[in-house]
Structure 1
Amino acid sequence: MIDLSDIENAFIASLGEALTGSGMIANPPVARPNTRGITNTKGQTVEIRIKRGFPVSDAINDDMTAGRVLIVVGPESGMTRILKPLRSPPIITRTVPITMSVQVTDPTVMINGIATAGQVVGIGVGSTGYAYRCVGGETASVVAQSLASQINGAQVSMNQIYVPGGHKLIAGVVSDSFTSVEVARQVQAFRIAIYAPTPAIRDAIGRLISPTLMQVRRFELEYGVTNAPKYLNVWTDDATAKAGVFKRVERWGVEYPTNAVEQVPGVLFAGLNSSGKLVGQFHPDGPITIERIINVWTGCSNRFR
């Protein structure tokens, strides 16, 4: 599901790209020169450091002493509303990349590649299927040995499996997908606080933040998409001017989904054909994939809306 830290990092990426030319998230945050021509009284380019969470006084003092600007992005406590979810089918957020392959030359199956977690290698022998869920980093030889140990009479040599008996062989590699279903929506307020060594630098940075975020149409995150950030209000604070700290705070609201995420395995064998032999990943209508399952789900749900 989407966490507050995901929204914070999305704000940081947008601000970092607009102010310093780099939207990369670093931990701990890295000070970078601004690319908008903002300089101090000595004509030096002002560096900006952007972090998530809440400000720490020692960090603020270090940045002000060095003449840097510190921007802190964090949620406001008690500023959350829960809304009803949108009616939408599951979406695939990502699929584990397939890094292994198989080659069948009856009566031998050759396995190649290095495994990553979330992949399944399978062999169909006549009407019986055998599958092995890989562990990340396993070699083709290890996977071949694990599969061969399940098949009666099979022999293994390095990454090749010999299956006696004259059976028709099929083999394949599939991987898991991660699907996401929206179960609720939240509206959360966030603070973007600027701490600057002079009021002129603070105001120069502040004038850039609102136009930057007002151009954001949405934050595209791993487990869903937010609405466009909504500007709420802004204020400045010179109460700490004696300490050489000049502050500006902008408040933005973001509506985003709360999703239930499920890991879904791929389909190795679809069933038996008219001769009683296993059919591989392919169905008369095309490959059986999670996308096709979702399309069926969508069609059924549309009938009852």
Structure 2
Amino acid sequence: MMSPLAIAISTCPNDTFTFHGLMSGAIPTGDVRMDYHLADVQELNEGVKERRFEVAKVSFRAALAFSNDYYVLPVGAALGFGNGPLLLSRDVGRFPGPGDRVLCPGSATTADLLFRMFHGESGAKVEQVLFSEIMPALRAGEADFGVCIHEGRFTYREEGLALVEDLGKRWEEDTECPLPLGGLVAAKSLGEPLLAKLVDWIRASLDLARRDPAAAMPTMRRYAQSLSDDVIRAHVDLYVNDSTRDLGSSGREALRVFAERARTVGEPCADSLVVFTPR
């Protein structure tokens, strides 16, 4: 029997929703065992960089650096349709400027790249922290701005924070493409037969959760960092859609534009993101 596959996903509800069927054992995988690791997006990015995971959910910004060794899977992606990173502050009425302290959720995240694309000439000082530390730091006055991801979109008003700019919306207006937030990557060394099975299993797991969302709630709640059920459901509604099941032609075009735009701001990356296509 082969060694367990090292599969790493985030604790976010959209990922645990997608993998509920597999993690619960409801989707059989034959003699292929899976060893799951759940972590923050920056840890996932670093884990793939260090080749610790064979399958992982990473930011598409990080995936640019791995495309020689990893495919993007056509299932499990989060494309932003009005749901990208938010630039937040305690104050309204101004954008980042020289000397401002701006918190981003990791140097390999799409959120950080968008800030560089749209505010790279601001003169602000960017620091990287865990995404869960950004809003508390803003609320405490320890930073001037923060680029917020994940459930922060639903809770920032409750934290007394203000929206400065929706970076995902700006991307969509500039490119006429959805924003590639994050996706599943898999080591090319796994081979096409196993990769094709993985795509089928993950897709079946997602289909199961979409047919019965209530059954997936305990799995999501277990990892959701004290989010309410309403916020969990809103998170899934926003980040899980038809492109999560299959990137399709629009998703592939968005990845092409994303790589192209990344190069324009000096991002050291491969030429493109290669989406695995089962034969």
Which protein, 1 or 2, shows the higher relative CO under an 8 Å CA cutoff with sep ≥ 6? Answer: 2
Q: Which TM-score applies when normalising by structure 2?
A: 0.30
Q: Which TM-score applies when normalising by structure 1?
A: 0.28
The higher radius of gyration belongs to 1
Structure with the higher helix share, 1 or 2:
2
